[in-house]
Every structure is written in structure tokens, then in C-alpha cells.
């Protein structure tokens, strides 16, 4: 006990920072060993990046939501709604850029509705987004007439394709670069802006945030809109992979997204989480999926492994917290 | 006091009344504090201290009465407005964001920013400035608050109030959760705040603290002003009697007791008898709680007439989210539950033990500490136990409820029940026990009649372990 800051935190802090990276390293090592050196071929690495992309985009948004102690269960449905909106717009002759805008706007709209319900009616985000999960899915099916929506081919279909010919200097698919740029922007927003710090303040102790004059309601509204906006963007990526609008796609996707955030160090209690960690988390999941399938492991093994990783990540998190409490007394 | 009169009045509350339904929480209360003054607000739990302060800090609105702050009318509609006007309340349960750093907490809600980006240098300077004002620059501004000790967190919260320029600081039971050494540091800080011209309102149960830190004290009892005066010159007895509203001699009642047959073997050669209160004097860590648990666990509790009140009321003593009735009748439920019968039983105990609650369906978490403890005791009575194992039953309980709990214990042993009372507060052991045994590091001494022990000797034995 004393007024000086204990330095015994360093191992825990170190683990806090590098835990997800360490996990990624470990998972890569294991699959490198299982699959063989070809696992680290540039082609394969790019495959991993592409596989990661869709979950990663949605997970960036989810990080923001979870940092504010919220949750969004509707992202899977929003993704499917977004692919449908995208396909319908393209089919009606709207330019590709505008179609992307429309798809993201559909997501933002869903998020804004969630945000309004959460702040105005003081409903739990778990419940509201559970409802939105069904509403968005239903809307997607209704708009698509319960079938896949074919759409003309545009540059969007190349978003996640390896650059070739005159564009090969890009090294990575355009979509992956877009994700990197968005991650940097979001990370900077969370870390360095007033708005970002307010999100963490709300997630950490909402009552205090309110007492200190943080505009809690406006922040939450923004948080859910941003979260679902990213889900809409994930829908654009999904569309580029599928090249059709599919109202039945991405069922259960939200769980992958939440898992990526949690593996990356986010806490469902709010106040913690980082974009960098989340990206690592999404990559870990992609490595497991790809590695397992390349090794010829059946799907059920993948699922068990992913489940174990999630529990392990949360257990580590718990242990970290526990360490804090011990050193407090 | 002559000096205080010439000092500028920081705030003044006049004729404040507030009712919750039929319960009058405050009636025509007057309260003020001047610049450079530490004013203690004392009173039992439920006396209205918290209500009065929540009105001052904007968390509640008075039904009638008026407030002035720095000479102008003041009507805060919420805590945020009060803070902006310069009144900050620092609650027992600290309100900080544990995941944010010290500096982020200090500037929360008023971050210096340009184009939405926080100006880190300015934020750091503000935080360091506030911490320096408290003479605690050694707290690093970049550490997450969750990593600090409770005492340090308290400093951060005071620093936050200073950073937004609050002239009035209300500290609600600030020493209840920090260690003795930190209490002294806190008192130094309060002294500095006074010297800097702040008005500090200090809410506390501990009379010694009040005498040590405050200039003036004001007593509330049953929602009304019940006296006050200069803190240093008033005696403990005077202050307590104002709080309790009766002479102190009646605090520890002792009806003639007739110990009967032995009913429980506590250790070899030590038995608890019907009709007596046996005290165990032990400090934290002496093994006293383990002893009680062993006694409780060895027998088939409840059914065989044993009941225990835990020292950890919130953690295991009561189900805080459940109602008074549910808590009282919990161990004695049949396969089928008749809510009306349960309620009737609970209402009887509420009346019998004078428990202050809205009704028997109120959640226990909404009651004061003393009333919660009475609910825990009522549970034992409802089960008609013969042996009551009480672990620190008056911890965190106000003086008035303490007196009622002592009265209840006295009544029970006169009725022929047996009470084993574990406590580290030796005056109460001497006040109500018939025999007292000292416990030290898991070793229990032989009990001696209360007439043969005194507080000093108990303390010596409890800390050294030398019995005789």
C-alpha cells in the first residue's frame, strides 16, 4: 500500500499489449508446422489477408461498439442487407461508387435506429440489436424477393482480388488497403480525439461520463451508426466476393466478429479494446480457418479450435484483471 | 467562530424540506459553509445527510427551501450543473472511469481539444496542475485509474473537482474504504483545501475524525437540525448524544441475565450457555471468522436452531437485489410459497425491529446499513434459532441502529437464547457481553467475566496473543 505506483504491473501490462500478437505468432507457428513451409508463401499470406478482410471490417466497427460497453448482434443481417442493396442499386444502373454509398447508408440507418432506441427508450443494446438482427434480415429478404439478386460486373468485384498487370505494384488487393486505411483512421479517432476518449469513458463508467458532461446519448447514437456502417462496408466486401446480393448470407457472422474483438483484447464490459488487437484477432481466426482446411482438418475441428481460442482469450483477460485486483490491496 | 463570520459564505441552504411519498426525509433544514471552512455533517444513517447533500449536488430537488451559492440563487437541476456551478460531491463509491488514465479522468468532459483532437500537452498540464495543488505530483498522469489504490483514486477524484474550479467539495464518508495511513494523508489534503479557501463538507460516522478534521459540525437527526457547534471543543459524548437523541448510558442496555444450560461447545472447555452473550475479541485475521464458520458449518444450521450473521453483509449476508420479505424468509421456505403469509411475517418483524423501509417488498439494497443488518437479524428470529452467531453485527451501522441492535441482543438473551458475538470494536463487547474471550492467530483464550477485563487489556491481548 502506498502512494507510489507499483511497478509489478509490467508483466501483466506486457501481456496486455502483446497477448494477441503472441497468440497470432503461436497460431502461425503451429500451422506452419502442420501444413509445411508453403503456409508462408506470399500467395497464401494474401489468401489469409483476403479471408480476414470481411470479418475485419465489421470488427473495426464492433470494437467501437464494444469499447462503449455496447454490443451489436445485427451485423450479420446488416451484411446481407448491404449485399442486397448493393446488387439492387447496381442492377438499376446506379454507378458503383453510389451503390457502395447506398449499401453503407443502409447499414448506418440500421445503426441509427438501434442507437435511437438504446438512448431514447433506454433499452438494452443486446435486446435492441437482437431485434434488429431479425428486422434487417427480413428487410434483406423482402427487398430481394427471397432469392439471390444478380448484378452487373463492376470494379467492386475486384476489391478483394490480387492486383495484376498494371496494378501489381499495389501488392495487396485494393480492399485490404482500404481496410488498413480505415483501421488507422478509426484507431486514431479512438485514441486521440475527444469523441474517442468519450467512447472509452462511457464504456468504463457511464455514470461518471454523464456526471462530467460527456454527451452520452449523442456518443452512443454515433457509436451504433458507425458500427453498423462498418457492417455495411463488410457487406460490400462480401458482395465483391459473391458478386450477387444474397439475403441468406452471413448468418452467425456477428459471432465471428465479436470473437475477433474479444480475442484482440476487447472486454464485453466495455472500456477496453483496440483496433490493432481486433485486426490481430480477426487474422488469428482466419489463420485457423485456412490452416485447418489446408491441413485437411474437417470443419468441426476448426470450430472446436476457434471456440477454445475464444475461451482462452477471455480466461487470459480475466487473469489479467485478477492480477490488478491483487496488487491493489 | 468570530473568524468564520467574517469569512465569505460559500453556500447556504435555508428551510430545505424533502419527502419521499409519506416519508419525510428533510424538514426545514438549515446548512451553510464558508470559504476556508471544513464543516462536518454528522448523523445516523437515515438522518437525512445523504438527501441533503444530494440536493446540494443537484442529484435531487428540494420540495421547498432555497439555496444560495457564492451569494446568488442556486438551483442545480442535475449533478452536471452543480459541478459547473462549483459544487462537487465525492461519493463513497468513487466515480471514475477505471480504464482511462489519471489525466483523462481529470479532464473528462472538458478535454482541451482542437478540431476534435485532444491536446495532450494541455491535458497533461491541467492534470499535473491539479495534482500539484494536492501536493501529490507523484501520481503519474498516464496510469490507468483502475491500477491505483482506492486512496489514490480518491485523490484523482478530488483533483478532478479542483480542475473544473469547484469551490465546494462534499466528501461522503471518505475514510470508510482507505487505510489509516492514507486517512492522515487525506486529512492533510483537506487542510490544504481549506487553506486554499475551499469549503469542504465532511460526512462521517466517526466522531474522532470529525473532531480531528472539521472546524464546525452540524448534526441531523430524523431529517431535522439537531444541533452543532465547534468540532474541537465539543466532547464525543455531546456529539453522540445529539445524534442519538438520548443519553449515552442507555446505549448499552443490560437487563439482569440468568445464564442457563450449555448449548454449544466452542472449543475444549469453553461452552456457550443459554441466556448469555459471549464475546470474542479479535482483530481481522485472528481466525475469528473461521471459528464462527466452523461452528456454523458443523451443525446442521437453521434446522437445528443455529443462525449466523455474516460480517460481509453485501457479499454473502443478504441478497441485495431481493426484497426485505424474501431475505427474511429465505431459509424457511416450504415447497410451496405463500407470498401473503410471508409478507405478513415480514411485516411483523419490520415493526418489531423498527426497520425503516417503504414496505416489505422493497429491495434490501435500498436500505441503510443499520436497517439491512436488522433484516439479517430478523431472518434469524424468523427461523426461531436458539443460538445466534454474530460476526461484527454493527460494522457500518449508525449509532441509533447500533443501540437498537444492542437492545435486541439483550432482549434475546433474557428470553433464553444464546449469543456469540465476534467483534473488533471492544467498547461494544464490554458494553453488552457477559463473558469475553480473546482470539489471536487462531488461538482462543479462556473467557473471563466482563467485570474482569477492560478495553486496554483486550487490545493488548488481541494484538500480542499473551493471554494473562
Asked if A201 is an interface residue toward chain B (Cβ–Cβ < 8 A), one would say yes
Return d(Cα B412, Cα B371) in angstroms, integer. Answer: 18
For an interface test with B, the pick among A13, A212, A324 (most B C-beta atoms closer than 10 Å) comes out as A212
What is the full DSSP assignment across A195-257? Answer: HHHHHHHHHH-HHHHHHTT--HHHHHHHHHHHHHHHHHHHHHHHHHHHSEE-TT--TTHHHHH
- How many angstroms separate the Cα of B337 from the Cα of each of A221, B320, B378? 45, 20, 19
pLDDT tens-place string over residues B73-86 = 999 998 888 988 99
Give the pLDDT of residue A227. Answer: 97
Give the pLDDT of residue B100. Answer: 92
A192, A207, A271 ranked by CB distance to B99: nearest: A271
pLDDT interval class at A326 (50, 70, 90): very low
Name the percent of chain A lying above pLDDT 90.
51
pLDDT interval class at B7 (50, 70, 90): low
Higher pLDDT, B204 or B198: B198
Q: Is the pLDDT score of A13 beyond 70?
A: no
pLDDT tens-place string over residues B329-340 = 877 666 677 788
User: What is the pLDDT averaged over residues B239-246?
Assistant: 80
Give the pLDDT of residue A97. Answer: 92
Give the pLDDT of residue B248. Answer: 63
User: What is the pLDDT averaged over residues A142-158?
Assistant: 89
Which range is least confidently modeled, A201-205, B200-204, B247-251, B347-351? B247-251
A193, A201, A213 ranked by CB distance to B116: nearest: A193
pLDDT interval class at B46 (50, 70, 90): low
Cα angle, residue A134 at apex, residues A133 and A137 outer, rounded to 5°: 85
Give the pLDDT of residue A15. Answer: 58
State the sign of the Cα–Cα–Cα–Cα dihedral B40, B43, B46, B47.
negative
Cell of B384: 426461531
Give the pLDDT of residue B52. Answer: 93
User: What is the pLDDT averaged over residues A44-73?
Assistant: 91
> B428 with B406: CB under 8 angstroms?
yes
A203, A213, A327 ranked by CB distance to B109: nearest: A213
Break chain B down into helix, strand, coil percent, rounded to 5. Answer: 40, 25, 35
Asked if A320 is an interface residue toward chain B (Cβ–Cβ < 8 A), one would say no
pLDDT interval class at A11 (50, 70, 90): low
H or E segment and range at residue B4? helix B2-6
pLDDT tens-place string over residues B383-405 = 888 889 999 888 777 777 888 89
Higher pLDDT, A49 or A81: A81
Give the pLDDT of residue A6. Answer: 39
Return d(Cα A310, Cα A295) in angstroms, integer. Answer: 21
| Chain A residues in contact with B161 (beta carbon < 8 A) | none
Give the pLDDT of residue B304. Answer: 66
pTM here? 0.75
Q: Is the pLDDT score of A74 beyond 90?
A: yes
Determine, for residues B118 and A197 on separate chains, whether the beta-carbon distance falls below 8 Å. yes
Give the pLDDT of residue B201. Answer: 95
State the sign of the Cα–Cα–Cα–Cα dihedral A164, A166, A171, A175.
negative
B97, B150, B151 ranked by CB distance to A201: nearest: B97
User: What is the pLDDT averaged over residues B20-41?
Assistant: 88
How far B109 CA sits from the closest chain A CA (Å)?
5
Return d(Cα B114, Cα B316) in angstroms, integer. Answer: 50
Higher pLDDT, B445 or A115: A115
For an interface test with B, the pick among A194, A209, A274 (most B C-beta atoms closer than 10 Å) comes out as A194
B98, B108, B136 ranked by CB distance to A271: nearest: B98
Which of B242, B239, B245, B275 lies closest to B259, judged by CA?
B275
Q: Is the pLDDT score of B347 beyond 70?
A: yes
Return d(Cα A187, Cα A64) in angstroms, integer. Answer: 9
Which spans in chain A are helix H? Answer: 10-35, 42-67, 75-91, 96-120, 125-143, 174-192, 194-204, 206-211, 216-242, 253-263, 275-295, 299-328
Name the percent of chain B lying above pLDDT 90.
30
Return d(Cα A55, Cα A73) in angstroms, integer. Answer: 14
> A238 with A88: CB under 8 angstroms?
no
Q: Is the pLDDT score of A114 beyond 90?
A: yes
How far A70 CA sits from the closest chain B CA (Å)?
15
Cell of A278: 481486433
Residues of B with a Cβ under 8 Å from any A Cβ are 79-80, 83-84, 95-100, 104, 108-111, 113, 116-118, 120, 136, 138-140, 143, 146-152, 160, 179, 181-182, 185
Q: Is the pLDDT score of B55 beyond 60?
A: yes
B104, B117, B138 ranked by CB distance to A4: nearest: B138
Q: Is the pLDDT score of A14 beyond 70?
A: no
Pairing of strands B387-391, A149-150: unpaired
* Interface list for A 262-291 with B (CB within 8 A): 270-272
| Chain A residues in contact with B138 (beta carbon < 8 A) | 3-5
| Chain B residues in contact with A272 (beta carbon < 8 A) | 99
Q: Which long-range contacts (CB under 8 A, 24 or more apart) does B182-185 make?
A: B182/A1, B182/A3, B182/B149, B182/B151, B183/B209, B185/A3, B185/B151
H or E segment and range at residue B164? none
Give the pLDDT of residue B92. Answer: 75
Determine, for residues A194 and B117 on separate chains, whether the beta-carbon distance falls below 8 Å. yes
pLDDT tens-place string over residues B269-307 = 888 999 999 999 987 777 888 888 888 876 555 556 788
Q: Is the pLDDT score of B128 beyond 70?
A: yes
pLDDT tens-place string over residues A224-266 = 999 999 999 999 999 998 889 999 999 989 998 999 999 888 8
Give the pLDDT of residue B48. Answer: 86
Give the pLDDT of residue B184. Answer: 85
Asked if A210 is an interface residue toward chain B (Cβ–Cβ < 8 A), one would say yes
For an interface test with B, the pick among A4, A69, A197, A214 (most B C-beta atoms closer than 10 Å) comes out as A197
Give the pLDDT of residue B299. Answer: 58
How many residues would you count in chain B? 468
Cα angle, residue B213 at apex, residues B211 and B215 outer, rounded to 5°: 75
Give the pLDDT of residue B468. Answer: 58
Size of interface A-B (CB pairs under 8 A): 97
Give the pLDDT of residue A198. Answer: 94
Which range is least confidently modeled, A175-179, B46-50, B228-232? B46-50
Give the pLDDT of residue B400. Answer: 75
Give the pLDDT of residue A5. Answer: 37
Lateral strand order in the sheet of B23-34 = B23-34, B9-20, B64-69, B72-73
Q: Nearest residue on chain B to A9, judged by CA atoms?
A: B147
Which of A31, A17, A72 lies closest to A280, judged by CA?
A17
Name the percent of chain A lying above pLDDT 70.
91
User: What is the pLDDT averaged over residues A293-304?
Assistant: 84
> A176 with A53: CB under 8 angstroms?
yes
How far A128 CA sits from the closest chain B CA (Å)?
25
Give the pLDDT of residue B249. Answer: 67
How many residues would you count in chain A? 329
- How many angstroms separate the Cα of B36 from the Cα of each of B2, B11, B73? 14, 12, 21
Give the pLDDT of residue A327. Answer: 37
Give the pLDDT of residue A329. Answer: 30
Determine, for residues B100 and A193 on separate chains, whether the beta-carbon distance falls below 8 Å. no
Asked if A200 is an interface residue toward chain B (Cβ–Cβ < 8 A), one would say yes
H or E segment and range at residue B275? none
Return d(Cα B241, Cα B436) in angstroms, integer. Answer: 27
> B439 with B466: CB under 8 angstroms?
no
> B363 with B320: CB under 8 angstroms?
yes
To the nearest 10°, the Cα dihedral for B188, B192, B198, B199? Answer: 30
pLDDT tens-place string over residues A182-192 = 999 999 999 99
How far A117 CA sits from the closest chain B CA (Å)?
23
pLDDT tens-place string over residues B56-65 = 999 899 999 9
E strand intervals along B91-205: 113-114, 117-118, 168-172, 199-203
Return d(Cα B366, Cα B151) in angstroms, integer. Answer: 26
Give the pLDDT of residue B298. Answer: 64
User: What is the pLDDT averaged over residues B354-381?
Assistant: 86
As a whole number, the mean pLDDT across chain B is: 85
Amino acid at each position: 500500500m502506498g502512494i507510489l505506483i507499483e511497478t509489478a504491473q509490467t508483466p501483466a501490462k506486457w501481456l496486455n499489449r502483446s497477448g494477441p500478437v503472441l497468440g497470432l505468432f503461436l497460431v502461425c507457428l503451429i500451422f506452419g508446422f502442420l501444413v509445411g513451409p508453403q503456409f508462408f508463401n506470399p500467395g497464401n499470406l494474401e489468401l489469409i489477408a483476403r479471408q480476414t478482410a470481411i470479418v475485419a471490417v465489421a470488427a473495426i466497427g464492433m470494437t467501437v461498439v464494444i469499447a462503449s460497453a455496447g454490443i451489436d448482434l445485427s451485423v450479420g443481417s446488416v451484411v446481407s442487407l448491404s449485399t442486397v442493396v448493393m446488387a439492387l442499386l447496381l442492377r438499376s444502373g446506379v454507378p458503383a461508387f453510389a451503390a457502395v454509398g447506398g449499401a453503407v447508408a443502409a447499414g448506418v440507418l440500421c445503426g441509427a435506429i438501434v442507437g435511437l432506441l438504446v438512448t431514447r427508450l433506454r433499452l438494452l443494446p443486446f435486446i435492441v440489436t437482437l431485434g434488429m438482427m431479425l428486422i434487417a434480415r427480413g428487410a434483406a429478404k423482402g427487398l430481394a424477393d427471397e432469392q439471390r439478386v444478380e448484378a452487373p460486373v463492376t470494379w467492386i468485384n475486384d476489391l478483394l482480388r490480387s492486383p495484376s498487370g498494371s496494378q501489381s505494384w499495389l501488392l495487396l488487393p485494393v480492399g485490404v488497403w482500404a481496410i488498413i486505411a480505415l483501421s488507422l483512421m478509426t484507431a486514431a479517432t479512438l485514441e486521440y480525439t475527444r469523441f474517442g476518449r468519450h467512447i472509452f469513458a462511457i464504456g468504463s463508467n457511464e455514470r461518471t461520463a454523464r456526471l462530467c458532461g460527456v454527451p452520452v446519448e449523442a456518443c452512443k447514437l454515433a457509436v451504433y451508426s458507425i458500427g453498423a456502417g462498418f457492417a455495411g462496408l463488410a457487406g460490400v466486401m462480401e458482395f465483391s466476393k459473391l458478386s450477387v446480393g444474397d439475403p441468406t448470407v452471413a448468418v452467425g457472422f456477428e459471432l465471428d466478429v465479436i470473437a475477433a474483438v474479444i480475442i484482440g483484447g476487447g472486454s464485453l464490459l466495455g472500456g477496453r479494446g483496440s483496433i490493432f488487437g481486433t485486426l490481430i484477432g480477426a487474422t488469428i481466426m482466419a489463420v485457423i480457418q485456412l490452416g485447418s482446411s489446408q491441413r485437411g482438418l474437417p470443419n468441426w475441428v476448426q470450430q472446436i479450435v476457434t471456440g477454445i481460442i475464444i475461451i482462452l482469450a477471455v480466461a487470459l483477460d480475466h487473469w489479467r484483471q485478477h492480477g490488478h485486483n491483487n496488487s491493489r490491496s | 467562530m468570530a473568524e468564520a463570520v467574517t469569512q465569505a459564505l460559500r453556500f447556504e441552504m435555508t428551510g430545505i424540506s424533502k419527502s419521499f411519498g409519506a416519508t419525510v426525509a428533510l424538514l426545514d433544514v438549515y446548512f451553510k459553509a464558508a470559504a476556508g471552512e471544513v464543516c462536518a455533517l454528522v448523523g445516523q444513517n437515515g438522518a437525512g445527510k445523504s438527501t441533503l447533500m444530494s440536493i446540494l449536488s443537484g442529484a435531487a430537488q428540494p420540495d421547498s427551501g432555497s439555496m444560495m451559492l457564492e451569494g446568488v440563487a442556486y438551483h442545480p437541476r442535475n449533478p452536471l450543473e452543480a459541478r459547473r456551478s462549483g459544487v462537487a460531491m465525492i461519493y463513497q463509491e468513487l466515480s471514475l472511469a477505471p480504464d482511462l488514465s489519471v489525466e483523462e479522468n481529470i479532464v473528462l468532459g472538458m478535454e482541451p481539444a482542437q478540431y476534435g483532437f485532444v491536446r495532450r500537452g494541455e491535458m497533461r498540464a491541467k492534470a499535473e496542475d491539479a495534482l500539484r495543488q494536492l501536493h501529490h505530483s507523484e501520481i503519474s498522469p498516464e496510469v490507468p485509474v483502475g491500477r491505483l489504490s482506492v486512496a489514490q483514486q480518491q485523490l484523482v477524484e478530488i483533483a478532478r473537482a479542483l480542475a473544473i474550479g469547484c469551490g465546494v467539495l462534499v466528501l461522503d464518508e471518505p475514510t470508510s474504504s482507505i487505510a489509516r495511513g492514507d486517512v492522515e494523508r487525506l486529512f492533510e489534503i483537506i487542510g490544504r483545501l481549506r487553506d486554499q479557501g475551499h469549503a469542504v463538507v465532511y460526512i462521517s460516522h466517526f466522531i474522532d475524525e470529525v473532531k480531528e478534521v472539521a472546524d464546525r459540525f452540524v448534526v441531523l437527526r430524523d431529517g431535522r437540525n439537531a444541533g452543532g457547534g465547534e468540532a474541537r471543543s465539543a466532547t464525543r459524548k455531546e456529539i453522540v448524544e445529539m445524534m442519538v437523541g438520548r443519553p449515552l448510558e442507555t446505549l448499552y442496555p443490560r437487563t439482569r441475565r440468568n445464564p442457563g444450560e450449555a448449548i454449544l461447545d466452542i472449543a475444549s472447555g469453553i461452552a456457550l450457555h443459554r441466556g448469555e452473550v459471549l464475546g470474542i475479541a479479535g482483530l481481522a485475521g485472528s481466525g475469528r471468522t473461521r471459528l464462527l464458520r466452523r461452528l456454523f458449518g458443523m451443525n446442521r444450521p437453521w434446522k437445528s436452531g443455529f443462525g449466523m450473521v455474516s460480517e460481509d453483509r453485501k457479499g454473502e449476508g443478504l441478497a441485495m437485489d431481493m426484497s426485505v420479505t424474501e431475505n427474511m424468509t429465505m431459509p424457511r421456505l416450504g415447497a410451496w410459497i405463500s407470498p401473503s403469509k410471508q409478507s405478513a411475517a415480514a411485516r411483523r418483524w419490520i415493526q418489531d425491529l423498527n426497520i425503516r423501509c417503504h414496505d416489505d417488498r422493497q429491495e434490501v439494497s435500498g436500505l441503510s446499513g443499520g436497517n439491512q443488518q436488522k433484516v439479517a437479524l430478523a431472518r434469524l428470529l424468523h427461523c426461531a434459532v436458539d443460538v445466534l452467531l454474530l460476526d461484527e453485527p454493527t460494522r457500518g451501522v449508525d449509532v441509533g441502529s447500533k443501540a437498537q441492535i444492542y437492545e435486541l441482543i439483550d432482549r434475546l438473551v433474557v428470553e433464553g437464547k444464546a449469543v456469540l458475538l465476534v467483534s473488533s470494536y471492544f467498547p461494544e463487547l464490554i458494553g453488552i457481553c457477559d463473558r469475553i474471550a480473546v482470539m489471536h492467530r487462531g488461538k482462543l483464550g479462556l473467557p473471563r467475566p466482563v467485570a474482569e477485563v477492560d478495553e486496554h487489556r483486550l487490545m493488548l491481548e488481541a494484538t500480542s496473543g499473551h493471554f494473562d
